[in-house]
């Protein structure tokens, strides 16, 4: 959300401007916080991690 709503559309002339935009987004977002709801299947995530480890191990 931060990337899509604030960073992609913003123009930042300095690192301080970027940090201020991020801090404003976080402050605004936290005014009405909602818990994050996972939609991905945990078993698929675990399998993807295992495949990644296997691929890394095969490179060495």
Cα distance between residue 6 and residue 3, in whole Å: 6
How many domains does one find in the chain?
1
Cα distance between residue 28 and residue 17, in whole Å: 16
pTM (two decimals): 0.51
pLDDT in tens, 12-53: 899 999 899 889 888 988 999 888 888 999 999 999 999 999
Cα distance between residue 18 and residue 6, in whole Å: 10
């Amino acid at each position: 959300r931060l990337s899509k709503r604030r960073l992609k559309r913003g123009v930042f002339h300095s690192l301080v401007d970027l940090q201020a935009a991020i801090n404003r987004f976080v402050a605004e977002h936290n005014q009405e916080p909602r818990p994050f709801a996972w939609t991905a299947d945990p078993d698929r995530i675990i399998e993807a991690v295992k495949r990644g480890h296997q691929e890394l191990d095969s490179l060495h």
